[in-house]
Chain A
């Protein structure tokens, strides 16, 4: 007898724990963080168990429900209005499973590294758990209705995290973040409705996929793609709808930045691949009349090159990392645009790799700010002498972000570029081949600004830094955990790619 609650547990535990966290700690301060840590740690361990069960699903076939290509499948009627049925449907496949594990990991380390927060502590951890439920729901929802709810719920706790615990311009940034992403998701909503209508009035994604494959009017689907893409690309984000990101990152507390960069950006990438690449028929991408791939490739290329140059003239370390995030998400766009097995696998891998690398960088920037008092790169100097281990990890993660081989970022970059070169975008006499060229060249600038940052911060004699004590254990420990994953994914990428390819091979069947 199959068990139908695997993913519901994953989704509902943080959701229920959220108010409990708040209520618990009314009596004693400090309870909230312990409780939130325990919940997120359990979630992380549980998600690893799910990973194992997913891999060994043939062995436990009587326990695990597999339906419509999704594992741990759950589907019950939720809202029934006449013929319209909205399901409460959950499931994971090769695309969402790595993201689910990433979610639990990033929340665990972010919650641990939030221990320095003492102001409105119960509310903070309660919001973190709510955020976790929202992100998780986005990744595992199979019904567009549920997906959209989860997608929108995420905005609320994130808004408050920025607005309550952020830096000096937090209110501006929080509003900017909220309005940008909320407006964009309205476009997405219209896109969803077009798909809903075209796909024979259902919100259930696997059913929509089947129905849309027979839908004749390609132009309407392409329109739907663009509308949905506005939502995803703003969340990603890509140039020119990216300006909320640097502000939000700079003002958010560093654990908030880590969740924002590690997971909220990935929601955009996930949506683009799930709703765009997977759900819509192949013709949206491959049909000669469609220029979807070209637009995506252009967005990706511009985002890579543009942000690489902008990052060169940043003074705030967090801003620099924020711009580099946009550039890395550009690689995701390019990978999707290449529409090859290498490219899409690379794009998914980039989301995972960036999902562990950028939180590391943001958390390190937090450690630096708390211990050295500033993040301003014109003031910081000679950090190695004061914080040797933090500095070592900074060098490590900055180089990982710059795409150093044997670390996670490189695998994704390599696969994406391999896909780009292999795709028809790059060919003799093809007008678009320079997209690939510019994208590859911009990697030099990326290495340039990271090396400049390291030269500036880590090397030299310390001047204005005062460090009274060693960084706390809770500040350093998460960095070690994430660094371990950066190295693991760089050396043994097949752990993830074996899973993601199960998803990609549905879209692009191997020849």
Chain B
């Protein structure tokens, strides 16, 4: 039983890597053969789909390998999940880990696969969505010169995310955590020739790196204090920590989440990450990368909650959770507002992601792993769906700006249906998946004992309203509103994409509906309780008053109603609002990203560069030119001159003196013994040896 689970987990993790390896080697051979000129022409990615879909043999081969390896991973994942959820044993399984560093002191840092309810649950989400997105990418990337490179990196990304999910220690998690950053760097910057892509890729990597350093420090302090980094051992070892230590470590680790899961103030990279191809955005936002942060906090939730006598109790001194909750609530609101003023469809979705992830983090801060993972599931599905359909929309109208679209519902009915379902899910329409999970989050916040929980709850409700509003906004503007005259032609020729562009979104739409049905609490089966039983055994959900879901439903309906009124029935109000002198600066302030980027760029460009130039000057002007070239070289030359004087004046004098003495002595000798010329030399040598020997002797005894 156990060994089967382990083998399945190995299959899940290794399949994407095998695919990636084959594709990487293939890509290199391909580039070496074509001297790399294959990609040198401009990628006319947007232009190609008119000529019908004819995959080249290369594309067929590459995408087949790519999709098959993910499919294999998905099958393994299903087998693993069936095996796991049907066992009586609710605990965790661990592969025999290998000793990474190979020396005794660090034997507590292991690398292995940890299979428990959390990782199986997450793995299911990742593999399912990755499979669908890979299928979509087969058609979406058609005609791109970098096809092999794309699939090689994309498979790698999926493999990395799955490895992160099944990590068994902080050390291992950190490896994949940073590699997730690497793969997103490569994918966001996939269109290498676009300067904006290069900038966005760098920004994503760097913002993440800031968080990663905090994370690294956090768990290294943990390592110092407990001597281990393994998730299986840590819960028993953290009892000895003081609340302050736990809080410090937790907040540092949360720093990693701020970077990776795009929380305030490091969330702006996510909107710029839209520079990558749409499948990348879809996978980045749905199940990988940004969800990694949520997943990690859930993984080490015992740190945030000190286990006590088998039950989770909120430790009074542990303010880490409050930090988490408050950062999340603020981010949710800020990003939600930004989604409301954004005009590019993918950016709207990006800010929406930030806002929704904040819900998950908020749930964690409020103390419920279950609510967070619950919302993660529903969000992953509908957000992947929204991105894929948004990609399809952009694909057919060749623009990213929603105001240049309009009335698309008749032109692209399949895409419209799918996107509408996704949007209903996102808006939190009563009865649909997003409603149930968001409700779980809000209820958790409402009943939690985090300081200021009522304010947090209010922020959450306000964000729910904003979410409904912006969702309605882009759906109406893209699909219902009449296009402006200059854009009519653009919209006229729109038509649904081919098989792979439409089927994966429709499957996802079906998944959203399926989830919605599953989430409806019935007396027989309540999804949330089932999830809680697996993720947090022994914890029981708080009895939720009926007023909470009703309130949330009213707020959402109100948001949707406002949206329809503002953007469909009554332009005039919107127009006058846009002219309002109070609104304009606020709008501008939001559109400028609250100047967060400006401040961060300023730090990178001004003080950092000032320090840099200053140190550079110290290096070249002070150390090199002044100290070395001037003082030391001139000093040495001066010394040399003195030595020269010493040499010629004193030493030579002495030598000459010796010479004279020798000469005199020689004369004397010659007077005694008739001369042999070589005597001069030998006597001189003897004298010198005696003299130098004497000097050396003096030095030596000193």
Contacts and interface: CB of A to CB of B under 8 A. Distances in A.
Interface of A: 176, 240, 243, 246, 306, 309-310, 312-314, 340-342, 345, 382, 384-389, 392, 399, 404-406, 410-411, 414-415, 417-418, 421-422, 426, 437, 440-441, 443-445, 447-448, 451-452, 454-455, 458-461, 470, 493-495, 497-498, 500-501, 504-505, 510
A491 B103 CA distance: 15
Contacts of B236: none
B585 interface: no
Nearest to B101: A497
Contacts of B206: 444, 447-448, 451
B99 interface: yes
Given A243-B624, A415-B101, A501-B103, A459 B195 contact: yes
Nearest to A420: B220
Given A405-B179, A440-B217, A493 B100 contact: yes
Q: Top 5 A-B pairs ranked by shortest CB distance? A: A494-B102, A459-B198, A388-B36, A501-B103, A405-B175
B224 A422 contact: yes
A313 B620 CA distance: 12
B613 interface: yes
B202 A342 contact: no
A458 B613 contact: no
B619 A310 contact: yes
B648 interface: no
Contact of A421 (B28, B36, B221): B221
B216 A440 contact: yes
A417 B220 contact: yes
B324 to A, nearest CB: 22
Contacts of B493: none
Interface in B189-225: 189, 192-193, 195, 197-199, 201-202, 205-206, 209-210, 213, 216-217, 220-221, 223-224
Interface stretch (B59-67, B466-474, B604-612): B604-612
B197 A313 contact: no
A444 B202 contact: no
Given A388-B36, A415-B106, A458 B192 contact: yes
Contact of B220 (A399, A421, A470): A421
Contact of B199 (A312, A313, A405, A455): A455
Given A417-B220, A451-B205, 20 more contacts: A243-B620, A314-B616, A385-B39, A385-B40, A385-B192, A392-B28, A410-B175, A421-B224, A422-B220, A440-B213, A444-B213, A447-B205, A451-B202, A451-B206, A455-B199, A460-B195, A470-B35, A493-B102, A500-B103, A501-B102
Contact of B104 (A410, A426, A448, A501): A501
A414 B28 CA distance: 31
Nearest to A421: B220
Contacts of B101: 345, 411, 415, 493-494, 497
20 contacts: A310-B619, A312-B609, A313-B612, A313-B613, A340-B105, A345-B101, A382-B193, A385-B192, A388-B36, A405-B176, A406-B175, A410-B178, A421-B220, A443-B213, A458-B192, A459-B192, A459-B197, A501-B104, A504-B103, A505-B104
Contacts of A455: 198-199, 201-202
Contacts of B175: 405-406, 410
A279 to B, nearest CB: 22
B interface secondary structure, majority? helix
B436 interface: no
Interface residues of B, number: 55
B223 A421 contact: yes
B604 A448 contact: yes
A246 B628 CA distance: 15
Contacts of A495: 102
B568 interface: no
B224 A426 contact: yes
Interface string B602-634: 001000110111011001100110001000000
Given A441-B213, A447-B206, A455-B202, A510 B195 contact: no
Interface in B209-255: 209-210, 213, 216-217, 220-221, 223-224
Contacts of B216: 414, 417, 440
A366 to B, nearest CB: 19
A460 B103 contact: no
Nearest to B211: A444
A501 B99 CA distance: 14
Interface string B366-405: 0000000000000000000000000000000000000000
B31 A176 contact: no
B205 A461 contact: no
B551 interface: no
Contacts of A392: 28
Q: Which of A313, A386, A404, A452 has the most CB of B within 10 A?
A: A313
A389 B102 contact: no
A461 B193 contact: yes
Contact of A243 (B171, B604, B612, B619): B619
Interface in B44-77: none
B616 A389 contact: no
A494 B193 contact: no
B197 to A, nearest CB: 7
Contacts of B611: 309
B628 A243 contact: yes
Nearest to B181: A404
B182 interface: yes
B31 A389 contact: yes
Contacts of B189: 459
Nearest to A452: B202
Given A312-B608, A426-B224, A440-B216, A498 B102 contact: yes
Contacts of A341: 103, 105-106
A60 B179 CA distance: 42
Given A243-B623, A342-B105, A389-B31, A422 B178 contact: no
Interface in B584-613: 604, 608-609, 611-613
A444 B207 CA distance: 9
B82 interface: no
B217 to A, nearest CB: 6
Contacts of A470: 35
B301 interface: no
A389 B209 contact: no
Contacts of A498: 102-103
Contacts of B199: 455
A310 B612 contact: yes
Contacts of A313: 609, 612-613, 616
B92 interface: no
Contacts of B612: 309-310, 312-313
B689 interface: no
Given A309-B611, A459-B198, A510 B105 contact: yes
B500 interface: no
B32 interface: yes
B174 interface: yes
A12 B431 CA distance: 82
Contacts of A493: 100-102
Contact of B608 (A309, A417, A418, A426): A309
B572 to A, nearest CB: 46
Contact of B39 (A314, A388, A494): A388
Contacts of A444: 206, 209-210, 213
Contacts of B103: 341, 345, 494, 497-498, 500-501, 504-505
Contacts of B608: 309, 312, 445, 448
Interface in B18-33: 28, 31-32
A111 B101 CA distance: 32
Contacts of A382: 193
A418 B192 contact: no
A441 B611 CA distance: 15
B199 to A, nearest CB: 7
Nearest to A382: B193
Contacts of A388: 31, 36, 39
A510 B103 CA distance: 10
